[in-house]
Chain A
Amino acid sequence: MMTMVVAVLVVLMLATALLVLVTPNMIAAVAASSAVSLVVSVLFVMLRAPDVAMTEAAVGAGLSAMVLALGLRRLGLWKLDNREKDDA
């Protein structure tokens, strides 16, 4: 049972991480990176590290996403249909 849950979480996490690298939309990439942090914090709970899980959720999923989103707005990439020309 535990194995199944962990397997699903790990696959989800790795897939989301890949999504960060390949999605053409920057907002989606930031959201995905925040989702990665969220899954990681769930894994921290399973590893019996509640302190770390709280920090990862607050800092990694919340604050860091906020910082990145503010950056995106300033960079003018805050558009849902933005296909970046710069990325290969």
Chain B
Amino acid sequence: MNQLPVEYLFFVGAIGLVGIGVAGMLLCRNLFRVLLALVIAEAGANLLLVLTGYRWDAVAPIVLPGMPAGTTMVDPVPQALVLTAIVIGVGIQAFAVAVLIKIYHGYGSLDRRRLAAMLDRDMNELAGVGPGRSPEAPAGKRPFPPPEQQEGRS
């Protein structure tokens, strides 16, 4: 009955996937890779969810002909949840790829930081305000000096 290490292993696997995925989402700079990291994190969460319904002494939750009554089965509920979650995941993923294509068309880059800077500039342009926190386009009077100097662009 010394099955302890195996259960640790499953958990380590699931949580490791989540950890790697989330770390990738936060640290990678290429947006396509960030999307891949999200996929990995989702797979980890799904694995963890299936683990919650697992039993050692049980069989898959399918009644087969000739199966003795009262056979223990694993919990079907988390499995159903994971089925749902997987399909949801792929739908969102396809949409994300389409958006990514458009972003690449629009900005010519997938680098997260460069894109963030360009988004900032775009939003300022859209709103008709100058780049950065410049002192010459304030609303009314500002009692404090601007906290940061204008960035490189004029």
Contact = CB atoms under 8 A, between A and B. Distances in A.
A2 B5 CA distance: 10
B25 to A, nearest CB: 10
A10 B30 contact: no
Interface of A is mostly: helix
Nearest to A23: B33
B89 to A, nearest CB: 8
Contacts of B86: 52, 55-56, 59-60
Interface size class of A (residues with CB under 8 A): 35 or more
A56 B46 contact: yes
A70 B17 contact: no
Contacts of A2: 6
Contacts, number: 146
Contact of A17 (B17, B58, B100): B17
B32 A64 contact: no
A64 B47 contact: no
Interface of A: 2-3, 6-7, 9-10, 13-14, 17-18, 20-21, 26, 29-30, 33, 36-37, 40, 43-44, 47-52, 55-56, 59-60, 63-64, 67-68, 70-72, 74-77, 84, 86-88
9 contacts: A3-B5, A13-B13, A14-B13, A17-B20, A40-B17, A40-B43, A48-B74, A84-B30, A88-B29
